Structures are given as structure tokens and as C-alpha cells.
Structure 1
């Protein structure tokens, strides 16, 4: 990909050039051998990828000869020109070998190994091996099992394997300086250097995940009921994450230093269900249903020093908590709003250690974890939720009446939280651009949602953070599609083999668990910057 731009205004010229390339080279070798009832397939693979990004930026002002445009930016009256360029490259290389064994179609075995190398990781840690093995037994094909018209499929599966992740930024294991040119002295620019905010780590290696999976495939009643159930257990070690270092270690260009580290280990356990049923199967009417369900439990098992890593309360999911999911919210727990009839109790809690600022009706009611009647960022913040749902589900129904087909698809994600831009837009001064529909507390309107506006409240920067986080659970009518397929005899006379017209709608209706989420699609994850719009499509499929 190549992008270039030039701009000239008066005696001011800018030239920008960006070039990006990505190369993939794969070689695959397959060999199959049959020996009686035994079948062997061997696969060998090599894979190489390379990514390059080149950039240049130059500007000049006060050109003495305007016709030179950007071709001689140094020729200006004040020698005020800037030239920058950059180059980023990364590459990976992989070897893989796999053996498939099949006996009578009943007993299946697969063993494989991958050797992956990534240039982004530290010297001496760039390569790692990732083995795997899988077994399957088609019980239904055993002679002793017997034949039955009610059972059409029964297969048992088990597998174990390792995968890896090297997903850090290029040169993330190296410390270097950044050159900046946004300063000048006596009309002459100069270059100065600052530390890159990411410090190098010469020990950084692969993140590895070892996963065990057991499952069963089944089919009943001429496969009118069929599906699969899987249980998995994945342990990830040497997790690659950026870690913010203490401010006492300094900063790079006013940004706290960070470092990529193999920071700990996590566990993911869960169950997945896929079920398909043919509810009605007649000549002119068919109804089929597909149900998917997944439940996952994620938690951090260990961290680099055996302790929680607590980040700033203002930085959402920066904290890492042992026993909790990776993407966890660690902040104040909101209990509601102090009401007028709670004035005496509210006055026993304070917003400062000196106990000079008691709470009043209309203030946010927050949990006092240590019972000292002072709400502060050290003692009264806690885990309040995660971005990972407890379960997800999908329900797809397909109906066909003669030549008319109808599809209705519903999805749900339940038991998670999100950072919600609309509640976070609350302005405690009452003078900003907060949405007008926010239900502020006033003596005449004793809302339990948003606190009273208070321009003098010193507590604005702390307790109001709890307004950012809401329950993100939802059920959604994702897609409805209806179509009509013209009879074959009709379209053949028109010189076609197939003709179908259809109409579909997406993101049609959403029910959110939280009453805060109104006129908003929580599938967006809380952001107000990338709306998921309702879509309506009219289409025509033609085959000649």
C-alpha cells in the first residue's frame, strides 16, 4: 500500500509519503499412504511473513522561489524546514509437521508440532515449539453398538495442544530515544531527544496457551436433532502485557514508563453447545432451529510478583487482580444516591481524611469497604465487574413455506459490564454539555441515578468515576431476512437458472438489562464514537 500527499499554500509546503507492504510465502507438502484398513496423511509446512512500513515527512516555509514547490524545501528565507522519516519491519517464520491416522473411519488420530519464530521478541527467546494431539472415536460405527433408527451419530473427541502469541509492538523489547523537532531558538529549529515511553525487556518471550478439549457429536431421529457439546480448559502462561512502572522511575515525554513483560498466567474454562433441530419437515413447510450457547470462566492465576497490580482508578481496566478476569474494572462501587430521608446517615460519611466534607442528600452513595466512614481511592475501591460475559447465546430460526423463506436471528451476551460514554458524560457542574435526558437528583426529583449538580463539590474527580460503568447485558434481535425464490420453470424461460429477491434488516431491536442504556446498542461496548446503525437491505440474486 502506498500513500503520498503534497500541499502548498503561499510559501508553505508539506510533503508526506507512506508505504506499507506485507508479504506471505507458504509452502505445503502433503503425502497420503493407505495400508489395508489404515490410512496415513503427512503434511509439512513452512511459512514466512514480512511487514514493512516506510514513512517520510517534510515541510518548509518562506520559499524564495515559489515555483520550486516542495522539491527544494531547504531553499527558504529562514531555514525553517522539518524533515522526518521512519522505517518499521517485523517478520515471522514457521515450520510445521502433522500426521493424520485413520483406521476404518472409526479411530482417528492427529499429532502435530509447530516451530514459530517472531522477530518482535527478545534475542534468545524468538523461537518456541507448539505441539498438539487429537483423538476421535466414532462409536456409532462399532459393530457391537447395534443399529437403531433413533441414533444416527455418536462421536467422542479429545484433544490437547499449545498455541503462542507474540503480539507486541515492533521493537517492543528495545529501549531507544525519540527525536523531536518541535522547538526553536531565535527562529532556528533544533532536535532534542526523549526516552521512548516503552522500555526494553531483553528477557521477553512467547505467551503460551495449553488447552484441553473433550467433546461429543450426536444425531438423533434421522438427524432431526443433532449437535455437539464441548468442554475446554485453557491455561495461559507468560502472558504478554504492558506494565506501567512507578512514576519514581521517571517518564518519557511526560508519559509514565511502560514495559512489556511476561506478566503472569490465566485460566479459561467453559462449555460450548451447538444444537440444530428440524422441527417441521414437510413438502411445503420447513422449520429449522439452531441454538448456540457458551459459558466461560476466566481468572488470573498468578502475576509476576504474586500480588495484584493496581493501576490508576481513572484508567478503567488497567488493574490486574488475581482470581479475576484480565479485563476487570477496579473502582468505587456505586450504591445509589443519598436521599433526603438519609441526610443524618449521609453526614456520618466524609469525602476527605480530615472529615471536613460530609456527604449530603443528592451525593453519590459509595461503598465504605474498611468502615472508617471516609471514602478514598486507597481503601474503598474494589472489583466491580468485567468486560467478559458469563454466557453468550444465539438463536436462529429458518422457515420455508413453498418458495418463501424467513430467517430470524437473536443473540445475547449476559453478565458483563462496559465503560458507558453516555453516563460518563455527566457534568457535576451542571453547566457543561451533558445529555439533557440525564436524570439529575433534586429535592423535587429524588432520582437514584445521577447526583445533584454541584460546581463546588471537591469530590467531582473521584466518586463520579463510578458513573462510567454500567451493566452491559443485552438480548438483541440481530437479523430478520425474508426472501422469495422464483420457480425454476419460470426463470428458465427468462434464461436464468436461479432468481431470488430478498429484504433484510439488521440491529432491529435491543433489550438492555440496565435502565441506563436507552436508545443505545450495547453491542458497541459503550463507545459513542462508532454507532451500530439499523440497516435495511433489498437484494436480488441471479444465476445464469
Structure 2
């Protein structure tokens, strides 16, 4: 009996006794162990995590289900049936990665986002000859346009929804790993993003509406771009990317060749005076061919990632870029070093992210002004002349004296050496602590820095053609910018059954400095060494955000920021920037949640106010003096004394403010095989910062930065992503986005027009105008008249006001440089080991003023001061004689709508090449494939709508290899 009782007692214990389960978690595609994988017994809070070798150990009962989860991988469930080892393989889940969206001071998911936010990861970046990081986004996101010149390493003009200002900055705020950077560059550098290695970037998040950007307050009126760099991983891997590119300019401005030019000069008197034929030569020189060259460039990037000391996930990267410019002497070199350390301590309660980057940028700047000189230089003269005292280059001269006129552009380039060096160190350290006693509460501290030191050396040969006794030229300049950041905030997450809350509150301090000096100019006897130190710019912000979610269907976000800036006077120093947004996940409602067609449908609405305080550094409100120049010196005995000049100030200067109202729809169809969004928005900017006239004697200048005017921008954005085919051996997807924009000035100071848009040709001419009721920078032109044969009549314009006098009152507004419609289209096709990708863009309704023709295509320009000059052959279309009579004609305003294929790439991947080498991808491609346009100039895509010989964009053949170890 006792034995029976003992048996009955121990049977349940045996049934419910727990066993030790061991195993290893690996990545399915590579068999690499995965550290930090969460292993939880389903339905309980019992769990553990894999170690740095992917091993785990946990106590479990027979029949328990173990759930394995890891960020970026599909979760998997495995049942414990008594086996000693339970090994699992996890598969990467790209869709899950896409769900994470980085926002200001935190992150969310696409499903929970209430604002207009678009995020893309490295898998979706624009491919091709990418030298600077912003071009990874080109044509990829609705509402975002990026215009880059052809200069090597060139910076870009980035516009989100057309900007929000008229004369202040329209550049978005750019944030790298939590550090907002300044858009002000340094001498010696190509641009603020030129020093950043695109291969180090993991993702972009573009915040477009005020409900998403208001958390950044005073700097967010033009949108926000958040860049996240690649982080360390515990498992070892290495990649090596090598790329070579071969560039060639495929187009030229059409000018007369030597033979046609000689005939033109001999047959064409100017204003009744015959041109001096003795100034003609016997050569036939294409000067554009002489200053441009075919280019060879390369990029190499190496990255290593793995665990340091078996405890710290780390990543190291090295990049080398060597890019030749199409213009002689123009080069760009960059060397990058990057280090990321991402340890976790105290059972993952404390996460530390350390990012440290070094960049060394070396430039030689080719004088782009010589593009215009090549267009003008006499094509009957040779490049070289052995008898020349100017280094063997031909120059127009009268005996030993250089004739007054355009000088040899090849000589000007080769005999001038303009160098720029920029050394940059930037990064941050981020502490993210989840409190042990209250895990719903996190404290985050982010410390960032950005230090740039730059040097410029400008020199020219002693053989440069001059008529004075000073031979050669030299100057040396230094500049230093610093950017220091301290952010701290608390985030509290709490879920009450179906109600989730998140609260964030914090403080931000940021300080910018700028100083430098130069040695003066050897050729200018009045120049002198000088130093400068702009006033420190300090920004202080207090911010908060609250998110409320009910049943995963109904979402509310409230945001507030109070910003202070040292740029303005005490009474205007602080600004308040609130925002609110709501969203409704309709697809989670009972009547849609089982739909086989609609897999995601969310309605959004938001309103918020953001600011703009980025005026020029000399325009900040401070009672101060500035150093005078050579025109404000005085001499005491034999000593030249540098003077100080009182600066103009405006104590009433304050923020620009932009309010944005938006309604949006996010959709997904057929299990999200088709997804995208539709947004309708209206932005109203008031108190626009603008340089405007003041009464004489009222300040230390006749103009000063003031708050005048209002601007309204309305728009519609549409985007769609389609997985056409998604199979193991074949996948085809494409992205299409469209943006419609309408801009209108609603108010200006005293209701007066403001002329802008200076052009070459004549003196003080402007071609654009700001006017109430019209788009900014609208073109202000005369209406050209034509004869009965349809030929333009020189100097004949429509008398629009009927006063029988043709003057500025008869100019009318015709179109503007902003595109009405911006389109982007990308596609990726993968078949087995082959991959094909291409990217296309289009602008519709944008107009360009052809300043190349308006300032050069007139017959009087055959006389180039004391010498002869070439002309565009377009002069034969008009036979206009005088530039001053025709430069404002609307005949030079052209529709510059275009369709461009930016790039196309084709690759093949060899897998499992040998032990230690996982794969090799060989690829080739073409950058700047084609442009379809009716614009007659060199390129329809120009800055601000005025084409005055942009740096041309070459067509580039690409070849590269990617090795994964």
C-alpha cells in the first residue's frame, strides 16, 4: 500500500518534470550563427537569448512550443518533444525590416505612423554611379527632387515638396544618426554631404508633413531627411565593392567651326562696320573639345563586421573614391574611415551605439567659367603657339601686350591650380537605458559632434597672360566649422489591454561655430591677410510627443517643440511649434479584416507648424562690426590700416513659420503585393525672410533681412510599389511616384513686386519676379513680335499697357522654373542569378531661360573687345544683332520638360565560389543613359531655371564587382 501511494505521488512529478533544451540558431541562407535571438516558451514569460555563438539553453516541458524571434527575420515556432538538441534556422524577412520607420527621437512602424513618412533601406536605393549619399534617393520618393551638376563630387539641390521659402533656405534638415548637420559648407569642400560615404548608409527616412517634422521645430519647414548608418553585428562577415567608371560628354553647345566662322566674319558687317579679317587665323579648333575630356574614375569600399572580444558587435569600413571631372583639371578624391560599436549591457537594458567617422576630401577645382570662354574663343586660332611668351599657349596679343578680350581657356585651366582640402570627423555616442525597476521607461542620451577643417590654396603660373608686372598669383585660406550636440529624452510605453500609449519628452542643445583666415591675394596690392569668427549659433529645444493607439485601429499623435535661437533678438528668440495627427486603420475593422483584396487601408490627417531660422551668418541679430575690405582701408604713413564697419541689424527679425495641413491614404492590396500612398497637402509660410530695401539713413545699409510676405504651396503625391512576380527564381517589382505642385505668393511687403534672377549679358538685368498671386521666380519678359513670315523682329515687343512706350511696365509674367509634375519610376528584375535595375525621372511644366543664347547669340558679339569671338549657331535662327535689345525677349524662355533614364545596371552573382568566399557579383551599367526633351540647351535640368552654362553631366559606363566573405 505504501509503495502504491509513493508511485501515485511521483507519477505527476515525472510527467511535469522539466528538461534542459539546448540548440543553435543559424541564418538559413549562410548557416552563420545568430546571437541575441529571443527564445520564449509560448504562452509564458519564460525565455532566454542565444549567445554570441548562436547557442541557447532553456528549461522546457514535453510539448512546449518554443518561439524564436530576431529583428529582421521571420519568427519560427518549434515543439519540444524530448530531443536533446533543438536547432533552428531563421529566414531573413525583408518585409519586416521595411516595417520599421525612423522618426524624430524614436521609431515606429508603417502601420502605426500617423504622419507622412517614407523610408527606404539599402535594398531599395537608387543604383549606379553614386558618389554622394543624397543620390541614393534620386527619383525614389514622391515629393523629393534632387538636382546634381556634372562636377565631380558635386553637392545637390534637394527639395521636399518644393521647399517653403522664397529667399531663405529651402534645404531640408539632414540628420545623421541623430545629429542634425548644418547646410553651410566650407571652402575646399564640394558640399556638406560630399565627405560622406554612401556605402556606409543603411536607410533613409524622409519626413514630409508638419505632423512628422514638428518634433524638430525651428528647422523643419523644408522637411527632414534622417540618415541611419550601418551598425555592427556579432557574426563575422566582410564585403569588398570595387567600381570603375568611364565618362564621356555626348553633347556640346553648337558654335561655328573654323571654316564657317571665317565665312561669317568676312560676310557680316556689324552696325555698318566691317570686322578686322586680320584677326582670323588658319586653324580649326573646337575649344569645347579642348577643355573637356573623357574620364576614368573609381570607387572601392571595404567593410568588416563581427564581434570584438566576443562581446561587442562592431563594423569597420574603409572607402576610397577617385573621380575625374569632365572639365580639365577638375578632380575629387575622398577617403573614408568608419567605426560602429554596438554593445548591450545589463541583460540588454543598456544599449550603446557608437559611430565614429573620418573623411579626407581632396579637390582640384576646374574653373567652370572657362566653359563660357571656350564657347566664345576664336575657332580659327590654335591651342598652342611655340613663340608665345605665355607658356607656349596661344593668346591674342598685340606684340608683347595681351589684347583685351577672352583669353585661351585651355591655358587658363592648365596654368591655374585651385586646390581644396577638407578633413572631417563626425559621429555620436548614444545611450539607451531601459530601467530595471520600470522596463516601460527608457532614458536616451545622444552626444554628437561634427568637426570640419578646410584649406584652400589658389595659385597660378608666372606665365599666365597678363599686362602688369605682377606675375603669378597665390592665396591661402583656412576655415573651421564645429557642430556640437547634446540630446536627452525619456520615453514611456505602456499598454492597457487594447489601449497603448507612448510618451516622449526631452531637451536638445546644439552649438555651431565658424572661423577662418586667409593670406590675401598676391595680385591685389590692396588685399591683406584677414581673419573672421562668426558669432556662435546656439539652438535650444524642449520637445514632447504623445502617441495613443486603441485596438491597433485608431491612432492619435500630439507633438510640441519650443525652440530658442541666438540668431534673433531676445523678444523674438523663442518659438512654439505644435502638431497633431490622427489615423484610422480601416483594414483592421471587422468588415475588411478578412478581405482578400484590401490587405491594408489607413486614413491619415495632420496639421502642424514648423519654422525656419536659417538666415545668412552675417545677418544674425547681434550688435557687431565686420572687417572692412580694400575699399574701406586708410593709410597712415606707409601702413595700410584695416577698418571696422558697423553691420546692419534688424532687431525685429523672427522666425519664418510654415503651417501644413495634410490628408493621406496608405493602401495595400492582395497581401501587400501592391502598396503605396496618396497625400493631399497645403503649406502656408508667413513672415518670409527676405532681403528688402530700407529707407536711406535708417540702418547701416540700404537693405536688410526682413520678415515680409506669405507663400502657399499645394500639392498631391501618389506612390505605388508593385511586386509583379515574386517567385524563387523570378521576381519583378517596380515603384512609381508622382508629385503635383502649385506655388503662389500670397503677400509681399507693401504689395510691391520684387525683381530677382540676375542674368549674364548687359548690366544689372533680372529675368524673374516675385508677385502676389503668382509663383515665386516667375519669368518677367517682353512679348516678342514676329513678321508675316514668322521671323522674330529684333527689338519689337508688344505694348501690353497701350501707352505707346516699351519699358519695364510692358514686361509680363510667363511660366516659372518649378515643375508642375515630378515623376519617378524604378524597377528591379531578378532571374535566378541575374539582376537588372533601372531608374527613370521626369519633370513636366518646368521652364528654363536660355541665358547662353540670350547673352551670346547676337551678331555684335562677333566683336570680343579688341579681338574676335565665336557665337552659338542659333544666331542664324533670329539674325539678332544687339544683345541689349533682345535679352529680355520671351523667345529665350523654353519649355524644359524632360524624361531621363538616370541609370541601368545588369549583374550576375556567383554563389559559394570557394571556402570563405560566399559570393561574387559582377555587374555593368550606364549612368545618364538618355534625355528626351524639347529644350535646345545643353541640359534641361538646371538650378533655379536660368541656364548660363552649367557644368555638363557626362554619360558614364560602369563596371564593378562585389565580393562577400
For the residues of structure 1 that align with 2:874 and 2:949, how far apart are their CA atoms?
19
Partner of 2:479: 18
2:769 pairs, out of 314, 319, 323, with: 319
Distance apart, 1:390 and its partner CA: 0.7
Q: 1:285 to 1:367 in 2, by over 3 A?
A: farther
When normalised by structure 2's length, the TM-score is 0.46
Check the 8 A contact 1:120/1:171 in 2, yes or no.
no
Relative to structure 1, is the Cα distance of residues 469 and 5 closer, same or farther in structure 2, using a 3 angstrom cutoff?
closer
Contact between 1:181 and 1:189, CA under 8 Å: does it hold in 2? no
How far apart in 2 are the matches of 1:396 and 1:521? 21
User: Are positions 1:297 and 2:726 aligned together?
Assistant: no
1:148 aligns with one of 547, 572, 595: 595
* 8 Å contact kept, 1:151–1:220: yes
| Structure 1 counterpart of 2:447 | none
Residues 388 and 249 from structure 1, CA distance in 2 versus in 1: closer, same or farther, beyond 3 angstroms? farther
Superimposed CA distance per residue, residues 466-492 of structure 1 (whole angstroms, 9 cap, x where no aligned partner): 365432221111111111122x4x33x
Per-residue deviation at 1:374? 3.2
Query: Please, which of 491, 496, 500 is the counterpart of residue 39 of structure 1?
Result: 500
Q: Is 1:415 equivalent to 2:876 in the alignment?
A: no
Unaligned runs of 5+ in 1: 62-79, 344-360, 442-446, 455-459
Give the total of aligned pairs. 483
The equivalent of 1:509 in structure 2 is 930
Q: Is the 8 A contact 2:606 2:661 kept in 1?
A: yes
Aligned to 1:444: none
- Which residue of structure 2 lines up, in the alignment, with residue 533 of structure 1? 954
Alignment of 1:34-73 (within 5 A): 34-57=495-518
What does 1:367-446 align with in structure 2 at a 5 Å threshold?
A: 367-377=798-808, 379-428=809-858, 429-431=860-862, 432=864, 436-441=871-876
Kindly indicate whether residue 889 of structure 2 is the aligned counterpart of residue 461 of structure 1: no
2:566 aligned to which of 119, 128, 142? 119
Q: Residue 641 of structure 2: which of 186, 190, 201 is its match? A: 190
Which of these residues, 687, 691, 694, is aligned with residue 242 of structure 1?
691
Distance apart, 1:208 and its partner CA: 0.6
Contact 2:719/2:736, CA 8 A, preserved across alignment: yes
Q: Secondary structure at the match of 1:108?
A: strand
Gap change, CA 1:311 and 1:181, over 3 Å in 2: closer
| Structure 2 residue ranges without an equivalent (≥5) | 1-451, 463-469, 759-763
What corresponds to 1:200 in structure 2? 649
Q: Quick check: 1:181–1:190 contact (8 Å CA) kept in 2?
A: no
Relative to structure 1, is the Cα distance of residues 249 and 315 closer, same or farther in structure 2, using a 3 angstrom cutoff? farther
Report the Cα distance in structure 2 between the residues aligned to 1:7 and 1:501, rounded to whole angstroms.
41
Pair 188,395 (structure 1): closer, same or farther in 2 beyond 3 Å: same
Quick check: 1:223 aligned with 2:672? yes
Shift of 1:59: 6.8
For 2:777 and 2:849, the matched residues in 1 are separated by: 12
Question: Would the aligned equivalents of 1:426 and 1:434 in 2 still touch at CA under 8 Å?
Answer: no
Give the stretch that moved more between structures: 236-245 or 85-94: 236-245
Q: Which residue of 77, 82, 86 maps to 2:532?
A: 86
Counterparts of 1:463 and 1:51, CA distance in 2:
47
Partners in 2 of 1:57 and 1:440 — Cα distance?
Answer: 44
Kindly state the Cα deviation for residue 204 of structure 1 after the two structures are TM-superposed: 0.9
CA distance in 1, matches of 2:733, 2:927: 20
Quick one: distance in 2 between partners of 1:497 and 1:110?
A: 45
Alpha-carbon distance change, 452 to 96 in structure 1, aligned in 2, over 3 angstroms: same
Structure 1 contact 422–435 (Cα < 8 Å) conserved: no
Q: CA deviation at 1:375?
A: 2.1
Relative distance call for 1:201 and 1:317 in structure 2 (3 A) is farther
Paired with 1:124 and 1:462, the residues of 2 have a C-alpha distance of 50
Q: 1:250 to 1:535 in 2, by over 3 A?
A: farther
Q: Which moved more, 1:279-288 or 1:158-167?
A: 279-288
Deviation at 1:7, TM superposition (A): 11
Answer whether contact 2:767 2:781 (CA < 8 A) is retained: no
CA distance in 2, matches of 1:325, 1:117: 31
Cα deviation 1:494-522 (Å, max 9, x = unaligned): 422333222222211111233x22x4352
Inter-CA distance 161–143: structure 2 relative to 1 (3 Å threshold): same
In 2, the alpha carbon distance for the partners of 1:373 and 1:301 equals 32
1:319 is paired with a residue of what secondary structure?
strand
Shift, 1:536, TM fit: 2.6
Q: Distance in 1 between matches of 2:919 and 2:557?
A: 41
* 2:945 corresponds to 1:522: no
**Cα distance between partner residues in 2 of 1:13 and 1:401:** 58
RMSD between aligned alpha carbons?
A: 3.4
TM-score normalised by structure 1 residue count: 0.79
Which deviates more from structure 2 when the two are superposed, residues 290-299 or residues 34-43? 34-43
- Cα contact 2:598–2:668 (8 A) shared by 1: yes
Q: State the SS of the aligned residue for 2:628.
A: strand
Q: 1:27 to 1:327 in 2, by over 3 A?
A: farther
For residues 226 and 133 of structure 1, do their structure 2 counterparts lie closer, same or farther at Cα, with a shift above 3 Å needed?
A: same
Alpha-carbon shift at residue 310 of structure 1 (Å): 4.5
1:49 CA drift (Å): 1.6
Deviation at 1:371, TM superposition (A): 2.7
Cα deviation, residue 245, structure 1:
4.7
Question: Contact conserved, 1:404 with 1:485, CA < 8 A, in 2?
Answer: yes
Offset at residue 315 of structure 1 (A): 5.1
Paired residues of 2:547 and 2:558 also in contact (CA < 8 A): yes
User: In the alignment, which residue of structure 1 is the partner of 2:258?
Assistant: none
| Cα deviation digits, residues 388-438 of structure 1 (max 9, x gap) | 111100111222222111112110111122343422441531314876443
Cα distance change, pair 260–411 in 1 and its aligned pair in 2 (3 A): same
Distance 1:7 1:384 in 2: 42
